[in-house]
């Protein structure tokens, strides 16, 4: 719901709540003078609920209400359905009125309050239900002149040159001028100071492939406003993230904002499988790719994280396995399960395995909020990355601006987290509409060659992923 509509909704809701309270006060006063009136309204026996006949519902993730398994809708107007009733028990008055009387109100006064709530619902049912269910992955792209969130010419301290499209020969940057508006969700504007205050004394960790690295760099730019920030400390050594001898780069990076003690880090793990050289003394050794074991880095440092974002997807192909000399292992030995020979089968198995393991750890780490981000879509046309594929479109939203589906386009990750405590960070369908936001054939040094229709320009689409993440933390 848009801000203006939401404010009007709240205003009407508060007005009716005030009317309801006045009405309730009158009923309570009358009931004190003549209890028989309240008895006529409803019988006290109807509110004597056996302890075995209630469900517990979490309300706003902090309080629990007790409601009977059935018959609640009998107290409302006939046109209110069971589904609508389920929605209503999460509203303001429901948190008070659907609690069994425990001495503060006797049964008759409680009945009067419930009757008053019934009248309130009668006046509010349309606008309450129209508020709907929040779904961050369902909504539309809208133009926003306040974008981007940081300068495409700045952020050189954090942003890889190859992803800074403002530094290339590209001339059209209209892809920067849009924000995602989810259906029925309040998603406040990202403000870096407020975000860092919320993340005081917390550590945010991204573990995944190069698209995870893009999301990490995006958040660093968002949190600094893209400005040089010499006060931000490199704390990679605390996590063993140092450049090994002969390596092009370390396995990841970690930076800390000293004013709020907020740490943001990234660790490269393209498949989320644990990689261990079969012969540690031979640099040309094959590498055991343990499909059923999370990376050692994650196992070692999980207790230090407050927010964890996982992703995988594009490295699950035969070429990557061959080039990296990865050999699939399960149960500590080379894989002999024919179902896991295919890349799809191995990827699915790993996604489910790591989700199951992570879910088993979360009860011991109550402050940790874990997310599994869905796959970032590719947009190669007329070929692939190595067969002449391209993505030359620069006109935003040529494929539409709205996502209407309820299910995720990444069925693997959605299935892996289902029934766990891990949250789905669903970005696939919304990113699929933004094919103009890729790096394409542009480069910093004006060299021809392969099109990049996998990674995104920054500022760009990964900034939205982080806005969705910030809204759900």
Tens digit of each residue's pLDDT (9 = 90 or more) over 94-115: 444 445 455 554 555 555 555 5
> In this predicted structure, what is the pLDDT of residue 267?
98
> In this predicted structure, what is the pLDDT of residue 96?
44
Q: Mean pLDDT across the stretch 275-303?
A: 95
Which range (19-28, 132-141, 199-208) has the least confidence? 19-28
> In this predicted structure, what is the pLDDT of residue 92?
41
Q: pLDDT band at 19, cuts 50/70/90?
A: low
> In this predicted structure, what is the pLDDT of residue 69?
34
Cα(171)–Cα(168) distance, integer angstroms = 8
> In this predicted structure, what is the pLDDT of residue 445?
80
Cα(172)–Cα(303) distance, integer angstroms = 44
Cα(114)–Cα(101) distance, integer angstroms = 11
Instruction: Please say if the pLDDT value at position 410 is more than 80.
Output: yes
Instruction: Please say if the pLDDT value at position 416 is more than 70.
Output: yes
> In this predicted structure, what is the pLDDT of residue 5?
46
Short-list 467, 469, 365, 375, CA closest to 421 = 365
Q: pLDDT band at 344, cuts 50/70/90?
A: very high
Which range (240-244, 401-405, 433-437, 449-453) has the least confidence? 449-453
Cα(88)–Cα(19) distance, integer angstroms = 18
Short-list 210, 331, 318, CA closest to 274 = 331
Residues in the chain, how many?
Answer: 473
The DSSP code for 243 is P
Q: Mean pLDDT across the stretch 198-226?
A: 98
Q: Mean pLDDT across the stretch 219-238?
A: 97
Backbone angles phi, psi at 348, to 5 degrees: -60, -45
> In this predicted structure, what is the pLDDT of residue 55?
36
Strand, helix or coil for residue 239: helix
Instruction: Please say if the pLDDT value at position 321 is more than 50.
Output: yes
| pLDDT 10s digits, 55-88 | 333 333 333 333 333 333 333 333 334 444 444 4
Q: pLDDT band at 450, cuts 50/70/90?
A: confident
Answer whether 139's CB lies under 8 Å from 184's CB.
no
Short-list 262, 419, 398, CA closest to 352 = 419
Q: Mean pLDDT across the stretch 213-230?
A: 97
CB contact set of 192 (below 8 Å; sequence gap of 6+): 222, 223, 224, 225
Instruction: Please say if the pLDDT value at position 281 is more than 90.
Output: no
Short-list 130, 182, 132, 166, CA closest to 2 = 182
Instruction: Please say if the pLDDT value at position 91 is more than 80.
Output: no
Q: pLDDT band at 436, cuts 50/70/90?
A: very high
Peptide bond into 468 cis (omega under 30): no
Answer whether 234's CB lies under 8 Å from 324's CB.
no
- Average pLDDT of the chain is 81
Instruction: Please say if the pLDDT value at position 333 is more than 50.
Output: yes
Backbone angles phi, psi at 104, to 5 degrees: -70, -40
Strands in 285-411 per DSSP E: 287-290, 307-310, 326-330, 333-334, 369-373, 402-403
| pLDDT 10s digits, 382-391 | 998 888 899 9
Answer whether 436's CB lies under 8 Å from 398's CB.
yes
Expressed in angstroms, the distance from the first to the final Cα of the chain is 20
3-class SS string, 131-148: CCCCEEEEEEEEECCCCC
Q: pLDDT band at 339, cuts 50/70/90?
A: confident
| Burial (Cβ within 10 Å: 0-12, 13-18, ≥19) of residue 468 | buried
> In this predicted structure, what is the pLDDT of residue 56?
34
Could you tell me which residue, 356 or 444, shows the higher pLDDT? 356
Peptide bond into 459 cis (omega under 30): yes
């Amino acid at each position: 719901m848009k801000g203006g509509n939401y404010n009007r909704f709240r205003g009407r809701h508060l007005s009716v709540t005030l009317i309801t309270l006045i009405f309730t006060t009158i009923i309570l006063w009358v009931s004190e003078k003549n209890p028989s009136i309240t008895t006529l309204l409803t019988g006290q026996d109807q509110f004597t609920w056996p302890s075995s006949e209630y469900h517990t519902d979490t309300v706003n993730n902090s309080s629990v209400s007790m409601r009977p398994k059935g018959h609640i809708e009998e107290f409302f107007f006939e046109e209110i359905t069971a589904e609508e009733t389920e929605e209503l028990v999460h509203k303001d008055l429901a948190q008070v009125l659907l609690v069994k009387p425990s001495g503060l109100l006797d049964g008759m006064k409680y009945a009067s309050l419930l009757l008053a709530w019934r009248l309130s619902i009668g006046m509010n049912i349309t606008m309450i239900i129209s508020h709907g269910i929040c779904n961050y992955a369902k909504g539309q792209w809208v133009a926003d002149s306040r974008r981007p969130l940081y300068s495409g010419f700045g952020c050189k301290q954090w942003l890889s040159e190859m992803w800074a499209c403002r530094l290339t020969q590209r001339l059209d940057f209209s892809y920067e001028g849009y924000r995602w508006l989810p259906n029925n969700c309040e998603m406040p504007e990202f403000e870096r100071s407020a975000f860092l205050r919320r993340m005081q004394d917390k550590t945010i960790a991204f573990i995944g492939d190069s698209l995870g690295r893009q999301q990490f760099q995006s958040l660093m730019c968002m949190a600094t406003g893209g400005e040089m920030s010499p006060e931000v400390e490199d704390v990679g050594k605390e996590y063993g993230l140092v450049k090994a001898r002969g390596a092009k780069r370390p396995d990841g990076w970690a930076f800390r904002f000293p004013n709020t003690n907020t740490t943001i880090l990234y660790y490269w793990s393209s498949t989320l499988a644990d990689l261990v050289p079969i012969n540690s003394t031979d640099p040309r050794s094959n590498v055991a790719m343990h499909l059923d074991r999370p990376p050692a880095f994650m196992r070692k440092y999980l207790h230090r994280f407050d927010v964890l974002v996982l992703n995988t997807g594009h490295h699950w192909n035969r070429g990557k396995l061959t080039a990296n000399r990865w050999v699939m292992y399960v149960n500590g030995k080379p894989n002999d399960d024919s179902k896991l020979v295919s890349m799809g089968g191995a990827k699915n198995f790993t996604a489910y395995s790591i989700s199951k393991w992570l879910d088993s750890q979360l009860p011991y780490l109550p402050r940790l909020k874990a997310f599994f981000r869905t796959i970032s879509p590719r947009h190669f046309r007329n070929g692939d990355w190595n067969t002449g594929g391209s993505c030359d479109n620069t006109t935003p939203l040529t494929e539409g601006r709205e996502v209407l589906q309820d299910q995720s386009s990444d069925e693997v990750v959605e299935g892996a987290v289902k029934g766990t405590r891990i949250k789905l960070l669903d970005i696939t369908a919304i990113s699929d509409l933004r094919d103009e936001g890729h790096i394409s054939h542009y480069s910093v040094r004006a060299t021809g060659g392969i099109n990049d229709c996998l990674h995104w320009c920054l500022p760009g689409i990964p900034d939205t992923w982080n806005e969705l993440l910030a809204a759900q933390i």
